[in-house]
Structure 1
């Protein structure tokens, strides 16, 4: 199947939050259409794609306050518009939004089918708290890793910081994922080559396809690096984007990844009773 990674910069909030969110939503829908026209079966997006990256500020010193203006509802107009676009263009999509649910707010990826059905959601599990990533000020932790059985194949989602814990992708694969999607917000200040290797090595160790889609462009004190990447189950780089806005396309074989995992010993010979 063909997968599309919608590497994009985000419209700044400036003085009009609604306009910024709407502009990002319009761009996202355009990328859904372009992905379908390019023959993709699935398009994924970067982390919190409709918002500025508000976690770069501690909540007490943020120009966005508690970021409530960016919190969306799973039944709200933005999700409805994304679902409608998937149905209109006949393509699966995994957007990532700031979702308020049951009194808490989460960094949440959605999985939407080509008929517009909301198949499921994945929330970030490990919540960072570091300079420029004050995420514990805004996100509640999710309850675990989910794998979705789809006509395209079995798909898992591991959000940004979660991928730094090998247990995240490994758990997704042990639960049957052939493809793991990683929406992220990587910056030029971070070890970019190491991040490439991190994705490739985990794809190799788990005999799975791993696709990491990043933001790009400058936002206040951060400059996002782009360089979205798709790694094959043998650890190869299937495709990689540059630094700017780009729709990265690649053909991947989910059944082939599953067959490779069955023929290699990495997951079958695990001895979990010996692990801490």
Structure 2
């Protein structure tokens, strides 16, 4: 499996050319699961202050998604893009193989003024793929433990988090590797993998776009929270090989964080309260 740190912008043809090269390199390395960054089709926002020109909005069943699937062939590829649906734009991710779309996700949590450019998603759901049961999230979603926990409870063995995570805006470090937002990015990756005992792929934009300087730091984390491979702050591909089921079984054999939960001691969520009152929605 591999997670990518790379730069993407508004030029869709250039983005596809870069993806084609990345997929070819992954295929040559025997990769079965490839995680590309958030907004790799059309680039991310140029600013988080609101009003920034957004990327091109794509039909979720349109030619660009079919083109991505054709490039994937027998590989499982996860990628981020701006989705147009029902007159709204979403910061979305799609998981494909050459056979078509396996799963989708719309970013739920929106930092700063991102809600001026995108509508929010409203769920986290795992789905089956040729490499195992997989869940997706986008960038700021990983700052909320409930996001990864919802996927783990839905049976996700692998979580792919696609980001356009920048360095700090208010107190930036001259050395991006020492940036405090970069440290948070890495901490969330390891914590979410460990507390849910899942395999975690973290892909991120690299380089700069508009006012944003991205921290790169793509990585693969095992269910014990250990980083198996990482790119550092520059562009690259973090590659690791492991038996997913065996790694999860080993991590959960003694300390099973999902098994040992005590839901009776936790306050119910708003959705659980609604279901208790109204019953399940059909």
TM-score by structure 2 length?
Answer: 0.85
The C-alpha deviation readout for 1:127-180, integer Å capped at 9, x for no partner, is 22x2xxx21012211131111112211111121111000010011011101110
Correspondence 1:243 to 2:233: yes
Counterpart Cα distance in 1 of 2:148 and 2:70: 30
- Which of 27, 43, 49 is the matching residue for 2:34? 43
Instruction: For residue 219 of structure 1, report the CA deviation from its aligned partner.
Output: 1.3
Which runs of structure 2 are paired with 1:194-233 in the superposition (5 Å)? 194-233=184-223
Q: Map of 1:155-234 to 2, 5 A cutoff? A: 155-189=134-168, 190-234=180-224
Equivalenced residue count is 255
Contact 1:145 1:171 in 2 (8 A): yes
Q: Secondary structure at the match of 2:161?
A: strand
> Which residue of 78, 81, 84 corresponds with 2:64?
78
CA distance in 2, matches of 1:119, 1:221: 34
Q: Structure 2: 5+ residue runs without aligned partners?
A: 169-179, 268-282
2:77 pairs, out of 88, 93, 96, with: 93
Query: How far, CA to CA, are the matches of 2:16 and 2:87 in structure 1?
Result: 24
1:195 shift after superposition: 2.2
Q: For the structure 1 residues 39 and 162, does the alpha-carbon distance in structure 2 shift closer, same or farther, using more than 3 Å as the test?
A: same
Matched, 1:121 2:104: yes
Shift of 1:57: 4.7
CA RMSD after TM alignment: 1.7
Structure 1's unaligned 5+ residue stretches are 14-19
- d(CA) in 2 for partners of 1:59, 1:198: 25
Q: Does 1:255 align with 2:264?
A: no
SS of the equivalent of 1:214 reads strand
Q: Spell out, residue by residue over 1:93-134, the C-alpha distance to the aligned partner (whole angstroms, 9 max, x if none).
A: 001110111222111111112x33111211111122x2xxx2
CA contact (8 A) 2:220 2:238 kept: no
Distance 2:72 2:219 in 1: 23
Which residue number corresponds to residue 6 of structure 2?
8
Q: Which runs of 4+ in 1 moved over 4 A?
A: none
Shift of 1:55: 5.8
Q: How many Å apart are 1:257 and its aligned residue?
A: 3.5
In the TM superposition, residue 244 of structure 1 has moved relative to its aligned partner by 2.0
Instruction: Report the TM-score when normalising by structure 1.
Output: 0.87
